[in-house]
Amino acid sequence: MPRIVKPAAERRAEIIACAVALFFEKGYEATTIVDILERTIAGKTINGRSCRVKVYPTPEHIDHCEILFLPRSEARQTQAAIAAVGGKPILTVSELEHFSSDGGMIEFVLIDDTVKFDINLGAVERSGLKIGSELLRVARGIKGRQR
């Protein structure tokens, strides 16, 4: 199956449309990032597997998942969550400052209204995951290379 990559502007418009629809349905204050993510990925698949968003009450409750997003609002739980999934093939992602330096795998960074990212390759390799060369080429920075 061919890989479909949408232009950033088109993808951004889709996400904003989902958010605006939710603001009208639930109200701005009642809409969460989880609501927006769930609406954005509804019906989407990756390699034939459906995507879903799952919220874990504490790091100890993290069970099987493939990508663990740690939002800024859960900064206090970051180290516990990284430890809970340590050594498991779970990609950890966050927008928290210093996330990749603190043991997370991918850290999103906003620079001049553009999302960039840093990769902690050591953390990725310790989990048994691999990051493709295409993604490594466009990373802003790569930390923790193992030799």
Beta strands 49-50 and 67-70 are unpaired
Q: Say whether both 41 and 61 belong to one domain.
A: no
Q: CA–CA distance from 112 to each of 37, 85, 146 (Å)?
A: 23, 32, 31
pLDDT at 99 exceeding the cut of 80: yes
Q: Say whether both 61 and 125 belong to one domain.
A: yes
Secondary element (H or E) of residue 50: strand 49-50
Number of domains in the chain: 2
Smallest Cα–Cα separation from 100: which of 62, 145, 144, 138? 144
Q: Say whether both 43 and 72 belong to one domain.
A: no
Provide the 3-class DSSP secondary structure of residue 49: strand
Q: What is the pLDDT of residues 104-140, one digit of tens each?
A: 999 999 888 788 899 999 999 999 999 988 899 999 9
Mention every residue, 6+ apart, whose C-beta is less than 8 A from residue 34.
53, 55
